[in-house]
Structure 1
């Protein structure tokens, strides 16, 4: 008896689902891990954000962030959590006569050294952050290579997961004709599980550009809420869908006010 290529692929997929410890967990445990940016699971999120009324002509700005996470055991009860952010951007014109500019932005890498968490204790990690000069156009990136520290800490209690992820980077090389970079990001992590498959959370990242001399141009502070749904399609990997929206209550001139976000997160076998 012979198997078709289609049947063979299906059998291999089923086998991988059966042996992976991720699928042995119940939905509540998997939801906890999805809310934890340094959990011991391999994920591949695709995050689409529309920022409304951006730029001097108040046009939409679009971002598709591809954000793979791959943890590696390094011994002694420690792991290295590798995270990347690959942005595909569509930025509106800044000057009269300019066209919209589409392309790749500056890729960010974050590596968190994290100990095995104790039961009921804090989950934390610390390591380097690097922003690479990869933008395909000067309007899509800073034109600099930047380095700095990254730290994350969260606490799980009942249906709640609460914490934050923060980075600070400074430019170390790049185009001498472009402004220096001193950028801070602070991502609040707030998730409340409604049931085994659904949760509510905070959406948005607080940013500060320390190179701005005017405080009114330095900070962006969003307030937003998200809803997520975990699904397990038969014969396929678990998927987590997230929709959210928010408003930048503090923002520089020409920055977006409202934003909406959609994300699909694939949980992959390791």
Structure 2
């Protein structure tokens, strides 16, 4: 009942957002914003609210809802370089995951990425490098790893007409904390986006994590439809799509739904 209530409330909100859309956005600006959103190091301030509904989680077929608040803030360092701050703040509620009948809600571990990226894209190639940090901010032991971790972070993508494709990768090692499991893990995310001139876009993306110390691999592939539009003076992108999981992680869900609401602050 709890999970059904969350889903129905969210779908009601999404439906009303679409119904109230004001078609005042210029096609050219909507297209440009859709392309920038496909680029993780674009010089665009955005605040995504990424809603993840995951079903059949783990051996008990539990349910998990994960809201990731992900502010992206570009900072101009000089005429040639930007520094992009990308923070992921997870707010999690789950049921029947740790034990049948158990419910946990709270903040998860915050991930902080920094990219240093050239302002000029040569031949449509965009890249960025920097550190990634994991902060043990979970309010419940089962919602985080209770470890400090850090490592290198990089991305490479190509912009060609309406298409943007590439990937990002990072690796983290734990160096402090009281958690029982050390972190030695690689994350890899390839993606492909087609952005239309109307501001609509379709993205196919796969997110994968390999834990090397215990040989556990988990990932999913998702396909998402998104649309840049405006509500009054506020530019937003809204969209959703399904996710299908794979790998040998025992706590993988079977499938899920991702729905995004992204506040945009173009210069």
Instruction: Calculate the TM-score normalised by the size of structure 1.
Output: 0.84
Give the equivalent residue in structure 2 for 1:197: 199
Report the Cα offset of residue 25 of structure 1.
6.4
3-state SS of paired residue (1:75): coil
Give the equivalent residue in structure 2 for 1:88: 91
> Which protein has the bigger strand share?
2
Aligned equivalents of 1:72 and 1:24: distance in 2? 27
2:237 to 235, 240, 253: 240
Give the equivalent residue in structure 2 for 1:29: 32
Give the equivalent residue in structure 2 for 1:206: 208
Pair 1:260-2:263 in alignment: no
What is the number of residues matched between the two proteins? 242
Over 6 Å off, 4+ runs: none
Aligned equivalents of 2:195 and 2:79: distance in 1? 32
Gap change, CA 1:59 and 1:72, over 3 Å in 2: same
Gap change, CA 1:32 and 1:178, over 3 Å in 2: same
Aligned equivalents of 1:28 and 1:225: distance in 2? 19
Report if aligned partners of 1:31, 1:196 keep a CA contact under 8 Å in 2: no
Say what the alpha-carbon RMSD is for the aligned residues. 1.9
Report the Cα offset of residue 249 of structure 1.
2.9
3-state SS of paired residue (1:56): coil
Aligned equivalents of 1:108 and 1:101: distance in 2? 20
Give the equivalent residue in structure 2 for 1:18: none
Gaps of 5+ in 1: 1-22
Computing the radius of gyration from Cα coordinates, the structure with the larger value is 1
Give the equivalent residue in structure 1 for 2:226: 228
2:68 to 61, 65, 70: 65
Give the equivalent residue in structure 2 for 1:180: 182
3-state SS of paired residue (2:138): coil
1:219-248 deviation line (CA, Å, top 9, x unaligned): 1232221100110223x2210012011211
Gap change, CA 1:68 and 1:25, over 3 Å in 2: farther
Gap change, CA 1:24 and 1:226, over 3 Å in 2: closer
**Match runs of 1:11-26 below 5 Å:** 26=29
Report the Cα offset of residue 203 of structure 1.
3.6
Gaps of 5+ in 2: 1-25
Report the Cα offset of residue 24 of structure 1.
11
Instruction: Calculate the TM-score normalised by the size of structure 2.
Output: 0.85
3-state SS of paired residue (2:234): coil
Aligned equivalents of 2:100 and 2:158: distance in 1? 50
1:56-94 deviation line (CA, Å, top 9, x unaligned): 210111100000000001114111000000000113344
